[in-house]
Amino acid sequence: MPLGDRAGDKSESRYCGVETEFDDDVPQLLLSNLSSAGFDFVVAPLMDPSYRPSLMQKENGGSAVLPFAGSDLILSPAQWSSHVVGKISSWIDLDSEDETLRIDSETTLKQEIAWASHLSLQACLLPAPKGTSYANYARCVHQILQGLNNMQLWLRIPLVKVDDDSTDVKSDHLVDSWDLWNSFRLLCEHHSQLSIAIDVLSTLPSPNALGRWFGESVRAAIFSTDCFLTNSRGYPCLSKRHQKLITGLFNHSIQVVLSGKPLHNVSKGSADLPSGLNKNSSDGAQSHPLRCYLDYIAFLYQRMDPLPEQERIELGYRDFLQAPLQPLMDNLESQTYETFEKDRVKYIQYQRAIVKALKDRVADENASSITTVLMVVGAGRGPLVRAALQAGEETGRKLKVYAVEKNPNAVVTLHSLVKMEGWERIVTIISCDMRYWDASEKADILVSELLGSFGDNELSPECLDGAQRFLKQDGISIPSSYTSFIQPITASKLYNDVKAHKDVSHFETAYVVKLHNVARLSPPQPVFTFTHPNWTPDGSNQRYKKLAFEIPNDTGAALVHGFAGYFDATLYGDVHLGIEPSTATPNMFSWFAIFFPLRTPICVRPGSPVEVHFWRCCSPHKVWYEWCVTSPSQSPLHNCNGRSYWVGL
């Protein structure tokens, strides 16, 4: 029984699990936890905790049946897969100095994961590493991962950071738990099937330290009953900081698992039995001891604001890497135009800018006598033409509009639009590349929508530099300027998706992506700025920028997988448009961020700035970016000479 429903939200975080003890009777285990309580799955040991391979060999000559919790036939494959997460025996210690224990641990780990794989479980929970030495544990897990099917391994990590905000630090947790995770996953070469189940404690690290985990591959958060407080009615509740954390977990599709013994004596009635289980055996079942905790988690989920309509539309694009458009080399398809044209906010901003430009260009007393020549360069299927004409109508200014478009297929649509709207006397359609068109007159206002996610990455500077020859010396360009921004991010999923291609070229490509499961480690900083019109003789569009990012000290160590890129544009006057997070235009969806990956992620310690270098390089036939990190460690130079990624002129 999911925690609740929010419009459009189909994320895994709607499902809540419970950690249980070993039970030979798995069907009854499911009935007592899923039926009477309404949990969606159990995190259950698969093997009797008293089992030790060395003892079995002595007693039975190694031939006895392993003490698993029943055969695979006691549940259907769908029930095993949907309702059970295997919990690997917590006693195992693969780095123990006791050789017998170490060998027993290795044997048991492999046996249990092999059994879980046989059952088609979706995931297994690995116990947290014991002590500060876990190289052999990581080695064995890495070996297992090489031959594993699609099952995920969740490594249990206590959510501990040694700082002023976290006083609940025990002797075996003297290091930042992120360091433990980072060392373990590095030994496993960032394997995509190795994930995290964070153990949430009664006190929490700083908000910045918590934020790191949202860029990591966290699949579950285990909340012990020890985390809960008691409200005035005797019900369990969480502190404000824990509530904020759990909201963040829900928003990042991280499932909650409840664990421990009940500390509150609150009784609730039975919940509906999940489909596929035998209801008859649950008749008269008493309420689950953790039901009141589940009710509280469900309450927190259900009181969250519903996802905005635009977020619901973009759910399928979250953390999905897309190649940027090649607007000059390729002609856009009708569906692509249609997607962009649905962004009303963008065209409202353009119309506002054109209104201001028209008023500044022509005084009110001359409105009926002066005709403003306005050119839309890169007119597409006509949305900017419509915005311009609406601005003219709003201001009472007379317009003569040229719609310049190189895509012959879009020109067909433009002609139909002009005829349908009766614009023949106002709009002239030019089927030509703006850089090569020989205009019969010069424009008062030049309007374009050539901006990419990084501002200049769809060659707006080159196109507008080529088009400005038919703009009057005192003419207006909309946009008038734009600036790109970058910031370092932790993005484990994006990194693994790029790494899956197993080549250098994909690590040297910039991707358009709806960023979601990322941790933004430092505020964005400006990179390249372009201004239009650009009357500088022999001006170059090549750029170079060196930036230093400071990671807040209370964040702790973090891994930089790459850089998120954004833009902010001034259309005209005080009318702006952009996706840089601190100034982003609300409810606009035409652009996602851009992602510049690093071939080898950079580990950053508190107080060590991230120094990054970015180049925008130009040749007669292409434009490309190069980037590298020089501090706190040196990365290779990415995309040298545009060998992997470039935009064609």
| Range with the poorest average pLDDT among 110-124, 302-316, 412-426, 548-562 | 302-316
Question: What confidence tens digit (pLDDT) does each residue in 193-248 have?
Answer: 999 999 999 999 999 999 999 999 999 999 999 999 998 888 899 999 999 999 99
User: Which region among 4-8, 94-98, 128-132, 429-433 has the lowest average model confidence (pLDDT)?
Assistant: 4-8
Q: Give the separation between CA 37 and CA 214, rounded to whole angstroms.
A: 29
Q: Which of 30, 57, 208, 197 is nearest to 127 (CA)?
A: 197
Diameter of the chain measured on Cα atoms: 106
Average pLDDT of every residue of the chain? 90
Q: Collapsing DSSP states into helix, strand and coil, what is residue 320?
A: coil
pLDDT at 287 over 80: no
DSSP string of 261-291, one letter each residue: ---S----PPPPPPTTS-SGGGTTPPPPTTH
Closest CA to 580 of 624, 631, 529: 529
Asked if 513 and 494 touch (Cβ cutoff 8 Å), the reply is yes
Please state the rounded mean pLDDT for residues 570-577. Answer: 96
The predicted structure's pLDDT at residue 162: 64
Active site residue 449: yes
**Residue 61: what pLDDT?**
59
Residue 357: partners with Cβ closer than 8 Å, 6 or more residues away? 445, 476, 478, 572, 573
The answer to whether 405 is a known ligand-binding residue is yes
What one-character DSSP code corresponds to residue 469? G
Measure the CA–CA gap between 360 and 573, rounded to whole angstroms.
Answer: 10
If you write DSSP's letter for every residue of 507-552 in order, what string do you get?
GG--EEEB--S-EE-S--EEEEEEESS---TT----EEEEEEEPPP
Instruction: Output the pLDDT for position 310.
Output: 79
Does the annotation place 346 within a ligand binding site? yes
Q: How far apart are CA 66 and CA 53, in angstroms?
A: 9
State the Cα–Cα distance between residues 332 and 378, nearest whole angstrom. Answer: 11
Distance set, CA 197 to CA 11, 126, 188 (Å): 17, 9, 16
CA distances from 611 to 218, 597, 606 (A): 28, 15, 14
For 11, 158, 363, 529, the CA distances from 568, given in Å and listed in that order, are 31, 40, 30, 10
Cβ pair 35, 270 in contact under 8 A: yes
Active site annotation includes 508: no
Percent of the chain with pLDDT over 90: 74
359 is in an annotated binding site: no
Rounded to an integer, the average pLDDT of 298-325 is 87
* pLDDT tens digits, 350-380: 999 999 999 999 999 999 899 999 999 999 9
- Look at residue 309 and tell me whether its pLDDT is greater than 90: no
| Cα dihedral value 519, 523, 528, 532, nearest 10 | 110
Q: H-helix or E-strand containing 431?
A: strand 427-431
Distance CA 627, CA 544 (A): 10
Q: CA-CA distances (angstroms) from residue 602 to 141, 307, 496, 611? A: 23, 34, 15, 11
Tell me if 641 sits within 8 A of 320, measured CB to CB: no
Catalytic one among 458, 462, 508, 626?
458
Place 300 in a pLDDT band, splitting at 50, 70 and 90. Answer: very high
Strand-pair partners of 577? 569
Q: Does the pLDDT of residue 265 top 80, yes or no? A: no
- pLDDT tens for each residue of 120-131: 999 999 999 998
Predicted confidence at residue 474, as pLDDT, reads 94
Give the single-character DSSP code of 405. Answer: E
Of the residues 216, 449, 580, 626, which is catalytic? 449
341 is in an annotated binding site: no
Predicted confidence (pLDDT) per residue in 373-414, tens digit: 999 999 999 999 999 999 999 999 999 999 999 999 999 999
Q: Pick the closest to residue 527 from 505, 511, 507, 543 (CA basis).
A: 543
Let me know: does 384 contact 374? Beta carbons within 8 Å.
Answer: no
Q: Kindly give the interhelix angle for 99-118 and 53-60, rounded to the nearest 10 degrees.
A: 90
Enter the tokens of residue 69.
Answer: 């919790």
Q: Is the pLDDT of residue 155 over 70?
A: yes
pLDDT at position 284 is 35
Residue 264 clears pLDDT 70, i.e. is over it: no
Ordered domains of the chain (ranges, CATH): 12-50+67-305 (3.20.20.150), 334-478 (3.40.50.150), 481-648 (2.70.160.11)
131 vs 610 pLDDT, higher one: 610
In three-state form (DSSP H/G/I as H, E/B as E, the rest C), the secondary structure along 544-597 is EEEEEECCCHHHCCEEEEEEEEEEEEEEECCEEEECCCCCCCCCCCCCCEEEEE
HSE-up of 540 (CA within 13 Å, CB side)?
10
User: Is 151 annotated as ligand-binding?
Assistant: no
DSSP assignment letter at 616: E
Q: Is 98 annotated as a binding residue?
A: no
pLDDT digits (tens, 9 = 90+) for 485-536: 999 999 999 999 999 999 999 999 999 999 999 999 999 999 999 999 998 8
**Mean pLDDT calculated for residue range 451-478:** 94
